[in-house]
Amino acid sequence: MTAAEPQRPGLVVLIAFVVTLSGRFTLDRVGLDVPIINDVRVPLFLVLLLALVLEAHHVGARPAEGGHVLLGILALLGYQGLSVLWVPPGAVTGPAVADLCAVGGLLLVYFTLAAWDRDRVTATTLKLFHAAAWVYFLAAASGQGHETNGRWAALGGGPNVFVRVMILGAITSLYLYLRSGEKLIWLVPIPAFLFGAVASGSRGGIVALGITIAVALLAIRPRFDVNRIAKPLALIAVVGTVLVITTGPLIAGFVQQRFVDSTIGQGYASSRDLLFQMALRIFLQRPILGTGLNGFQTVVDLGFAEEYVHNLPLSIAAEGGFVGLALLVVAWLGLWHGYTTVPLPERSLECRTAAYCGIFIGAASLFSGDYYDARLMWIFLLLAAVRPARPAAPLPR
């Protein structure tokens, strides 16, 4: 008599993905205004928690290895929430506290799922991001969601959200290629996703991709096999060339203006340089505890729409001071320790892919986004560092 196959996470992974990807989508974007549930995270989180409880009920408690990494991240989020106690007068902290709670809730859900069946959860999540990348790309390619300056975007998200989805689509294409036994068909979407990334006009996203590639090359350098990658690179080059020849003229003028004339010629940085300087100045003025959560917006009146620093470490430095920076470093080091304690031969493809996705989002968070926009970095790095606990060795008789 064979043992029954263990219960595996199912619908709850899909719901968690939808909650994660939806971001701060509000009903007023589609012309509705419903109190309480106007922020779609409220009903979605309720559904997610209900699904998690129902599925986990059939499984029972599942111990995990690497649980300390979650404590490091939650300590940082908790400190950021506590910093509302010393914000300047007039600071609006409610939405920021809600964002931190939402990030913490998502991490608890994904930690539970990782303890349950990390590789299956990660594989499903990566496949869902691949499908989402296609949806975003096709929506943007049809002209839906473009900004007035020509930058590609889709489904209510801005260009900096769009570029993250495109690059995650390219990374998941590589994952599916390796998972399928190196079937070349999975590499065909990569040029399209990279085309979409360039069309987004996100210079920070492109730099983040370069950082991720550099980290990956350093990691695989000892096992680099030119013969193995020659055919895949040739395919990507051919498909990319065809794509550029056929559709490149549509965005050629935009690329020239955005990347060459403005960035290189004029040194235009979308006010990032000014924001970074102000954040550093605030940190030097209040080096221990910072201004408190969302205090940057109150202390700095720049006279334009930018309300946050667009750089995760500098934002934490300005609003959390040295204590916040120390907790950020501790959280990152904890994730690194949790990932590297697993011997290289035992790191699954899903584990390694999640790590690279997390590195990319982390690098992108140096140029755009706020605390809630960094949620994917924490989720992917958590999936890379946490795994189900190994069965205890039987006691000797």
Q: What is the pLDDT of residues 89-99, one digit of tens each?
A: 888 888 899 99
* 61 domain-assigned: yes
As a whole number of angstroms, the distance between CA 219 and CA 65 comes to 23
Average of per-residue pLDDT values in the chain:
86
| Tokens describing residue 383 | 């999936």
Q: Going by C-beta distance under 8 Å and a sequence separation of 6 or more, which residues neighbour residue 123?
A: 179, 350
Number of H helices, E strands in the chain: 13, 2
Check: CB of residue 338 under 8 Å from CB of residue 66. yes
Instruction: Indicate the pLDDT class of residue 57, thresholds 50, 70 and 90.
Output: low
**Lowest-confidence pick of 143-157, 188-202, 292-306:** 292-306
- The β-bridge relationship of strands 387-388 and 64-65 is antiparallel
Full domain range(s) for residue 57: 11-387
Question: Does a structural domain hold residue 367?
Answer: yes
Q: What is the DSSP letter of 39?
A: B
Q: How far apart are the first and last CA of the chain?
A: 25
Asked if residue 281 is part of any domain, the answer here is: yes
Where is pLDDT greater, at 358 or 342?
Answer: 358
Is 4 inside a domain boundary? Answer: no
Q: How far from 131 is each of 145, 191, 342, CA to CA, in Å?
A: 18, 16, 30
Q: Which helix (H) or strand (E) holds 362?
A: helix 349-364
Helix, strand, coil percent values for the chain (each to nearest 5): 70, 0, 30
6 pLDDT tier (thresholds 50, 70, 90): low
Q: Tokens 């509000």 map to which residue?
A: 26
Lowest mean pLDDT among 33-42, 310-319, 333-342, 361-370: 33-42
Band of residue 30 on the pLDDT scale cut at 50, 70, 90: low
Distance between CA atoms of 109 and 202, rounded to whole angstroms? Answer: 31
Return the percentage of the chain with pLDDT > 70, whole number: 87
Q: Is residue 203 part of a domain?
A: yes
Helix (H, G, I), strand (E, B) or coil at 247: helix
Q: Which tokens in the block code for residue 87?
A: 């914000």
Would you say residue 56 lies in a domain?
yes
Is residue 251 pLDDT above 80, yes or no?
Answer: no
The per-residue pLDDT for 65 is 77
Q: Is residue 265 part of a domain?
A: yes
Contact in structure between 313 and 367 (CB atoms under 8 Å): no
Does the reported pTM lie above 0.75? Answer: yes
Residue 1 lies in a domain: no
The answer to whether residues 26 and 38 touch, using CB atoms and an 8 Å cutoff, is yes
Domain count, the chain: 1
Quick one: pLDDT band at residue 234, thresholds 50, 70, 90? Answer: confident
Phi, psi of 64 (to 5 degrees): -130, 150
For range 48-66, the mean pLDDT: 75
Residue of 189, 143, 141, 144 whose CA lies nearest to 167? 189
CB contact set of 313 (below 8 Å; sequence gap of 6+): 325, 328, 366
Contact 351, 76 (CB under 8 A): no
Q: pLDDT of 76-121, one tens digit each?
A: 999 999 999 999 888 888 889 999 999 999 999 999 999 888 999 9
